[in-house]
Every structure is written in structure tokens, then in C-alpha cells.
Amino acid sequence: MSITHPSFKASDGKPVSEVKFPKEGPPPITVKNLTMAYGTFVLMKDINFTVNHGDIFIIMGGSGSGKSTLLRHMLGLIEPAKGEVLYGDFNFTKAEPEQREEMLRQFGVLYQGGALWSSMTLAENVGLPLGEFTNLSPSEIRDVAALKLALVGLKGFEGYYPSQISGGMQKRAGLARAIALDPEILFFDEPSAGLDPISSRLLDDLILELRDNLGATVVVVTHELASIFAIGSNSVFLDAESKTVIANGDPKDLLKNCKDHRVRAFLTRGDEDKKDEKSARDHG
């Protein structure tokens, strides 16, 4: 079954819908010298990082560090004060609005609350982007929606409304909608927020499965340590005090090797600082 939609031309003449992210060549995502600001107030500056093919890339940091704001910049919802975001060799920041919209159709986004329409069934929610952006018939859309729901463990729930299922199931339904258009890149904003530990772990397992099965690259905003260590293969740490990136790499490697006490305190829930304070008291 072919999913097709109109294509705009990128600056090099290539249809934006044909911009691919192969294992060879430029990385799927590159953020260069990005500054995030509200008027004269600078939230973060000099942000540089690369997301490689197949990464589950974690955007982490303390409260107020601008994690979700960075995600919105990457999606073009907020314009940077400085710098740019590239997808493959496509400069997303400098692109025309129509070109950006075309590129966004290659992305899947799961927002914090799942963002499901309460008046629509799960199948109708998942089918919404298919009806808007493809040439599929209504019966084909129903088939694809059922398939996507089955992929996230919701087979048989096509006719249910969001209010009839649990919070964890709502997140999975939101994920089904995020993968409706077979995206090459998935963005998740606090996917485990509001979930109990078991549901959160099940969602982590599902994210890993989808990354492997779809061959997608995944970007996740989260402060949940269990999720960070369970799924993260690469990361960037935003520091609210210095207003910039102070560490990047595999979170497990950062836990072992990063010398910055702010990063280590975050990754150990402050336990290391408590141990240092206890040691100082014992030897005082």
C-alpha cells in the first residue's frame, strides 16, 4: 500500500519528501550554534550536537533548562535567535514554510498528554494524518490505522474512545498516530509523564521495538532516569545555570566518566552530593 502526498522542492531542487537519512552520509539531525531566547532573555546559547542514524537521543537537564523548548525549535514551532537545524543535508531553519511542512510529514511526534481527540475513536485519531496527508481511500486508512494500533499493542481497541482506556494505553495510541505516516524520525516529549513505573517500562520497551522495527531515529525529552538509562544511546545535557550544553554522549558513559558534578548529580538523583556531604561531616 503506497502512502503518497504532494512534494515541494528543496533549495537544491530535490523534492523535500525525497530527503532521506541513510546510514552513510550526513547524520539525520545536526543542531549548529543554536541560541534560544525570548526577546532579550537568553534561555540557552551555543547549542551544538549531532543525532546519528538509529540513535535514541535523550534531551535531558534540570527543570527550567529548556528541554521541551529545544524540541519545539527542532520542529520549527519556535524560531531560533541564532543558529540552525539541519535534517540530513536539508537546512530546516532556512527553508520556506511549505518546505518545512513537507519535511514535518516525515516526522512523528508524541506530545506529553498524547494529544488525542476525545470525540474520536482511536482508529479515527490514528487515521487523521493519513486522511490529511495521503491519497489513501477511507477503507485503506482504516486498515493502516488498525495495523498501527496493533503495532503498539492495541489490537481490538480501534473503536474505543480515549476516555475508555488507561493513561498508558492513551500514550500508546498517541504513539500509533505518531508512526501513522511511517516517519524516519520520531520526537517524544516526556513520554513517561504521569505513568506508573510498570507502564513507563512497557512504553520504553515499545520505543526500543519501534526503533528497531522501523529503523527510525528517535529524539526523547525526559527527566526520568529509568527511561534515560533503559533506552538512551546518545544524549545532550542542558544546564540552566551556564545556559548551554555541558555534556553529551551515551548516558551510561556519562554516569561513569563525566567529571562535571552537575551532570553526575542529575544522573544519580543527587546521591553523590549527599555522599560527599556525609564524608565531609565524618572527616570534619
**Domain range for 209:** 24-106+183-282
Do 133 and 156 form a contact (C-beta atoms < 8 A)? no
- The one-letter code for the residue type at 77 is L
Say if residues 216 and 186 touch (Cβ distance below 8 Å). Answer: yes
pTM of the model: 0.85
Residue 74: CATH number of its domain: 3.40.50.300
Tens of pLDDT, residue by residue over 18-43, are 556 656 678 999 999 999 999 999 99
In a domain, 1, yes or no: no
Question: Considering the domain boundaries, does residue 240 fall inside one?
Answer: yes
| Structure confidence at residue 284 (pLDDT) | 54
pLDDT in tens, 172-209: 999 999 999 999 999 999 988 888 889 899 999 999 99
**pLDDT computed for residue 194 by the predictor:** 81
Q: Determine the average pLDDT of the residues in 153-163.
A: 95
Helix (H) or strand (E) holding 48: strand 41-51
Asked if residue 148 belongs to a domain, the reply is no
pLDDT digits (tens, 9 = 90+) for 41-87: 999 999 999 999 999 999 999 888 999 999 999 999 999 999 999 99
Q: What is the pLDDT of residue 174?
A: 92
Give the pLDDT confidence score for residue 45 in this predicted structure: 97
| Residue 254 in this model has a pLDDT that exceeds 50 | yes
Q: What is the pLDDT of residue 72?
A: 95
Alpha-carbon distance of 42 to 132, in angstroms, equals: 37
166 within a domain of the structure (yes/no): no
The number of folded domains in the chain is 1
Contact 277, 261 (CB under 8 A): no
